[in-house]
C-alpha cells in the first residue's frame, strides 16, 4: 500500500459490498443517481422505495416521468427538476436506444462529456455513472459531500494536490472506500 492512511482505509472498509461495475441496467443506475442528487443516502433510499412502491419498477418510473407535465407537483420527495431529468433520460433512450455498449469504449472524460449532454445530468451524476456503470478507476468525485467528509479525516492535513498524487489511478476505489467508511459508521475509527 502506498501510504499508511490508505492502508488503514482499506483495512477498515474491506471487504467492500459494492460491485463495480454494477451489472444492473443502466436506467436503474441513472434513475437512482438522479434520486440521490443533493440528498442523503437514507433520503434517497426512502424516495426510491416510495417511487418503486407507487410505480412498480424503474422503467415505469421513467415512463411516468416522461408522461408527467414539467410543472406538476413533486411526488414522494422527488423534485420537479429530478423528475424532468428522469424524463430527459427516457427521451434520450427513445431517441438513441440503450447507450451502454456505445459508451463502454469511452475514456472517463469522454463518457462524462457524453452523459452531461443529457439535460439535468451534471458532473456529479456523470461521475457516479462512470464509476458504478462502467468501472472507470480514475474518477475522484471531490464534489460529493460524503467523499469530501471522509477525505477530510482520511487525508487530514494533506493538500488536494498531494491527495491526488497519492490516489492516482485508484481514485474511484478510494472514493468507494470513503463511502463505505461512512456507510459502516466507522469514520470515528480512522486514525
pLDDT tens digits, one per residue of 94-105: 999 999 999 999
pLDDT in tens, 40-84: 888 999 999 999 999 999 999 999 999 999 899 999 999 999 999
What are the sequence ranges of the domains in the chain?
A: 4-18+140-189, 26-134
Please tell me the class of the 26-134 domain: mainly alpha
pTM: 0.93
% of the chain residues with pLDDT over 70: 99
DSSP 37: T
Strand, coil or helix: what is 78? Answer: strand
Residues forming a β-bridge with 132: none
Confidence category of residue 175, pLDDT binned at 50, 70, 90: very high
Q: How confident is the model at residue 38 (pLDDT cuts 50, 70, 90)?
A: confident
CA distance 40 to 18: 18
Q: At 168, list the grid cell.
A: 492516482
Cell of 126: 456523470
What is the rounded average pLDDT of the residues 6-10? 93
Amino acid at each position: 500500500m502506498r501510504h499508511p492512511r490508505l492502508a488503514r482505509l482499506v483495512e477498515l472498509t474491506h471487504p467492500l459490498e459494492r460491485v463495480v461495475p454494477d451489472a444492473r441496467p443502466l436506467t436503474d443506475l441513472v434513475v437512482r443517481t438522479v434520486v440521490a442528487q443533493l440528498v442523503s443516502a437514507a433520503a434517497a433510499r426512502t424516495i426510491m422505495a416510495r417511487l418503486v412502491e407507487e410505480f412498480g419498477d424503474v422503467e415505469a418510473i421513467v415512463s411516468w416521468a416522461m408522461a408527467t407535465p414539467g410543472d406538476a407537483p413533486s411526488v414522494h420527495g422527488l423534485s420537479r427538476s429530478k423528475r424532468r431529468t428522469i424524463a430527459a433520460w427516457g427521451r434520450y433512450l427513445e431517441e438513441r436506444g440503450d447507450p451502454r455498449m456505445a459508451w463502454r469504449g469511452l475514456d472517463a472524460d469522454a463518457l462524462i462529456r457524453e452523459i452531461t449532454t443529457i439535460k439535468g445530468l451534471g458532473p456529479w451524476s456523470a461521475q457516479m455513472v462512470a464509476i458504478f456503470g462502467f468501472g472507470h478507476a480514475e474518477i475522484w468525485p471531490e464534489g460529493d459531500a460524503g467523499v469530501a467528509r471522509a477525505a477530510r479525516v482520511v487525508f487530514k492535513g494533506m493538500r488536494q494536490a498531494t491527495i491526488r498524487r497519492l490516489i492516482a489511478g485508484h481514485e474511484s476505489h478510494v472514493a468507494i472506500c470513503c463511502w463505505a467508511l461512512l456507510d459502516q459508521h466507522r469514520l470515528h475509527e480512522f486514525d
